[in-house]
Amino acid sequence: MESVDETRRSVEDLLRGQRFAVLSTESETGPYCSLIAFWAAEDLNHVVFATLRSTRKFNYLVTHPRVALLFDDRTNRETDLRKGMAVTATGTAREVTDVEARVRTSEAFLAKHPSLASFLASPDCALIRVDIDVFYVVTEFQNLVELRAHSPR
């Protein structure tokens, strides 16, 4: 069993190394999942992604800002059951509307996803910040560790 510090480092490595995650939102008709390109803050306190304001995803985020994100390192092989890691993060989503914050956040996001520059520059594109409450880290198929995002290092 990993220590909290080891688990935190494993989550940091996973979020730094992975480019995509699954976002789970809620609507009046039920849950909805979307694949997103993301950037995670070094302190693990928040994750950022971009979406168009005209999408179902954006509408769900505005009406139901509590979300879950799934990050994983699967290779689609049988060994994933023993060696894989899946992390569910829960938190609250909001659009980054402050101009200075959007510039800083956009730069960090684009450092990880430079191919999305024209998408991010679209007038309809919203930059979404998810403030993370907790990470649920599952390793070896069934070992679960809960990691608070805002806990001291």
The CATH code of the domain that includes 23 is 2.30.110.10
88 pLDDT above the threshold of 80: yes
Range of the structural domain that residue 72 is part of = 4-148
Structural contact between residues 137 and 87, judged by C-beta atoms closer than 8 angstroms: yes
With respect to residue 89, please indicate whether it lies within any of the assigned structural domains. yes
Task: Please write the tens of the pLDDT for every residue from 10-42.
Answer: 999 999 999 999 999 999 999 999 999 999 999
Residue among 96, 120, 98, 97 at smallest CA distance from 36: 120
With respect to residue 153, please indicate whether it lies within any of the assigned structural domains. no
pTM of structure:
0.90
Q: How many domains does the chain have?
A: 1
Structural contact between residues 116 and 103, judged by C-beta atoms closer than 8 angstroms: no
